[in-house]
Amino acid sequence: MNRSDILERIKSERERQLDLPGSELDANNTVNDWIAIAGYYLSQEARRATTIQTRQSDFESELIKAAAVIVAALEHSENMKDKGELS
Residue type, 46: A
Contacts for 52 with CB less than 8 Å, ≥ 6 apart: none
Residue 39 and residue 7: Cα distance in Å, rounded?
19
Total number of domains constituting the chain? 1
pLDDT at position 47 = 67
Section 8-32 average pLDDT? 95
Which tens digits make up the pLDDT trace of 37-85?
Answer: 999 999 988 766 667 788 899 999 999 999 999 999 999 999 999 999 9
Tell me whether residue 55 is in a domain: yes
Among candidate residues 10, 6, 4, the one with its CA nearest the CA of residue 67: 10
Q: Which residue segment(s) compose the domain that 35 sits in? A: 3-82
Q: pTM of the predicted model, to two decimals?
A: 0.90
Confirm if 72 and 34 have CB atoms less than 8 A apart.
Answer: yes
Tell me whether residue 53 is in a domain: yes
pLDDT at position 44 = 86
Confirm if 5 and 60 have CB atoms less than 8 A apart.
Answer: no
Tell me whether residue 87 is in a domain: no
